[in-house]
Amino acid sequence: MKISEIFYEKNAAGKPVVSFEVFPPKTDSGTQTIYQTVSGLIKQPDFISVTYRGDSGDKTSEIAENIKRQMGTEVLHHLTAAGLTLSELTNILSELTNARIENILALRGDAASLSGDFPLAKDLIKAVKSDGHFNVAGACYPEGHVSSPLDTENLDHLRQKAESGADFFISQLFFDNAQFFRMNEAAKDAGISQPISAGVMPIMSVANVERLIFFGASIPTRLIKIINKYKDSPEDLRQAGLEYAFHQLDDLIAHGVDGVHVYTMNRASVANAVMKRYL
């Protein structure tokens, strides 16, 4: 099923789309963790996205196909433009079509690896869309992409992705809902009508926070105080981080967002806590 159809049906009923993200680990045992996470869900999300490493050991397609076939849950297969040639893309799309995968999140990927045929995400979006078989999602950035932090550039890039054929968008994670609301309103005012799902990640550890800062996510004072208070108690920090995410999600849903996309870090406990509350 095309994910844009899920957005249409849920939003028409006054409900947000609720989705999760998992990532392919580098080990076979880690891969089993993903299947345990998905099979252990108390309810099914509207879709599950599977991230893409793009190396020789990447298991994105295998994991996405297994989740869809075995669990019956719709999947969103990530794909990066970095280093990708037209010939390689043609082969990948053929494989995904044969696997009955209908949804792709088209991303630029690592700027240092931009030696392929698709310099920017919008170029990959256009190429995948022209294949005719896929719903295509794009990424958006409530605080601006780390390489183009200006609001005008951020909105212009979002508009170009929409014009290239993106069917919906998923935002980079953020911890201040005002950032998302500002971007979402600016997008709508600019005539971007595609659904935009808000990306939320519960803080699970201090190391988790350090990685997130690298991706350009600012940490509000309230969250900094929570992290400092529980930094020496991992279990309390995980619980407090989840409660902060719930506060974000409650507020987003109350404001009528198109969808919420939860970065689960392959944790069934995070996914199920969200399920109990919102599905």
Token pair of 130, please? 């022209």
The amino acid at 72: G
Beta bridge partners of 21: 49, 263
Could you tell me if 23 and 51 are in contact, meaning their C-beta atoms sit under 8 angstroms apart?
yes
- For residue 171, give Cα distances in angstroms to 30, 135, 196, 215, 261: 26, 17, 7, 12, 8
Could you tell me if 118 and 90 are in contact, meaning their C-beta atoms sit under 8 angstroms apart?
no
Beta bridge partners of 6: none
What is the full DSSP assignment across 107-132? E---GGG--SS--SHHHHHHHHHHHS
Token pair of 125, please? 């979006």
- 3-state secondary structure (DSSP) of residue 79: strand
The alpha-helical segments, DSSP class H, found in the chain are 3-12, 28-39, 60-66, 86-98, 121-131, 151-163, 177-189, 206-214, 221-230, 234-254, 268-278
Beta bridge partners of 17: 259
Positions annotated as catalytic residues are 21
Cβ neighbours of 202 (radius 10 Å): 26
| Distance (Å, whole) CA 159 – CA 6 | 22
